[in-house]
Structure formats: C-alpha cells, structure tokens
Amino acid sequence: MTPAKLFRRREIWLPTIWGWLALLLVGAAAIVLVARSLYPLLAPQDLVRGRLLVVEGWMNPEGLDQAFATFRAGGYEHVVTTGGRIGWPKPDAHATFAELAADYLRRRGLREVPVTAIPTPDSAQDRTFLSAVMVREWARQTGLTVDALDVVSLGTHARRSHLLYRLAFGPNVAVGVLAARSSEYNADAWWRSSSGTRDVIDQAIALLWVKIFFWPPPAGTHEERWAVPPKRAARSGA
C-alpha cells in the first residue's frame, strides 16, 4: 500500500501576525466583558415585594443592616431568618445563625412585624436548599399563604439562593432576591483583589454545579431533607 492511499494533502489557512493580534484583542475584550458582567449576574437585585422577607442569617452585620433597610422599604408582613449551627457556641450564645440574625434584627429596631428564626438542621443536603425547604414547611404548618417572597443573601451567593428557593417553593410562588453588597472588595473590579477573585469564581462554580447536577427530591420526602434514602440514613445514624 503506497503512502498516497493513506494520506491526503489539504491546504490550511493560518493567521498572520496581524491576524493573531486581532484574535488576541477579541479574546481580551471577551474576557473583560465576562469579568464585568459576572458579578452582576451572580448578585442580582430583583425584588417582588411579597408578604414574606427571608434573611439568610449567616451574613455579617453589614449584610443584615441591608436586609433591615430592605424591610423598611417594602410592605412585608413577616420576616424569617435562616441558618445552621454556629460551630461550638457558648452556653449563653445563640446556637444557630438563624437565631443570631433574628436577635440582631430585633435589636436593630425591627418590631413592626414578627421576626421568626427558622434554624437549618444538619444534613447531607445543600444547606441553602434545605433552608428554603424549612421556610416552606414552616409556612405550611403555620397556615401562612405564601404566593411571593423575597430573599436577602450576601453578594455573589444571591443568584444561587434565588434558584434554590425557586426549586423548593415551586413554580406557583414568585421569588425575588436582593444581593447585599459587601465591603470586603470592590464589586465593580473584583478581579483586582484575591478575596474578590476567590469569591466570584467559587460562587460561579457553585452555581454551575447546582444548574447541572442538583435535582431536588420530591417535596415532603425524607430525601428532600437528608439527600439520602431512609435506610442509608438509619445505617449512618442520621
């Protein structure tokens, strides 16, 4: 068999030096465009002004202050705070972020409407999703009809919180979101600091993971709270 039958000659076009320069400029412009649009994508400001305001209690005081301002600007009838255990609290300290945030908002002056702490239990499930499930179940148990709610989260975590609350409450409940702004870095130039770069990239990856790999179990099932079948949970002592 001759080489002529194994190979075929083709003409290949390659960029010139000016072509490579043009491609480099286009690539750089694309990177800048993505960098400038990534933070606003992850930290949306889209409130629906429902009856219920959900505050993620793990936020710092700066974020909780912005949640307080959001309450003042809206016509909310109830405020709930969420969050799991705070490491190893002292006997006289709050055991969960939900309780800590609720106490902070009350001391801040939020007394016009009820402020309810809804702690998130330990679980193998996504914590934000489980927080949303706990809020949903609390509303059902108390007889509170929720057709719209707003969630206040911190910065780049907000888009993921918005998505997971929508998954937990279903298509019949309108979910709004407000991303509290952090002073740890400049959101308009997050790539100029290590903390901003870590935060934005980490949250972008986490959001992508949720969109591709996270499928919420049926509402009300054991798996919705624990992310594992009942038999496996019993064996693991959950």
Q: Domain ranges for the chain, please list them.
A: 46-181+190-229
Query: Cβ neighbours of residue 109 under 8 Å, at least 6 residues apart?
Result: 68
> Side chain identity at 179, as an amino acid letter?
A
Structure confidence at residue 236 (pLDDT): 43
Task: Report the topology of domain 46-181+190-229.
Answer: Rossmann fold (3.40.50)
Longest dimension (CA), the chain: 90
Read off φ and ψ for residue 144, nearest 5 degrees.
-85, 120
Inter-residue contact 132 to 15 (CB < 8 Å): no
- Which DSSP category does 121 fall into? P
Coil, strand or helix at 116: strand
Inter-residue contact 230 to 236 (CB < 8 Å): no
- What digits encode the pLDDT tens for the residues 143-192? 999 999 999 999 999 999 999 999 999 999 999 999 999 888 999 889 88
In the chain, helix, strand, coil percent, each to 5?
50, 15, 35
- Which DSSP category does 18 fall into? H
Query: Cβ neighbours of residue 201 under 8 Å, at least 6 residues apart?
Result: none
H, E, C per residue of 133-200: HHHHHHHHHHCCCCCEEEEEEEHHHHHHHHHHHHHHHCCCCEEEEEEECCCCCCHHHHHHCHHHHHHH
Positions in the chain whose pLDDT score sits under 50? 233-238
Please give the Cα distance from 193 to 124 (Å, whole number). 33
Structure confidence at residue 233 (pLDDT): 45
Structure confidence at residue 235 (pLDDT): 46
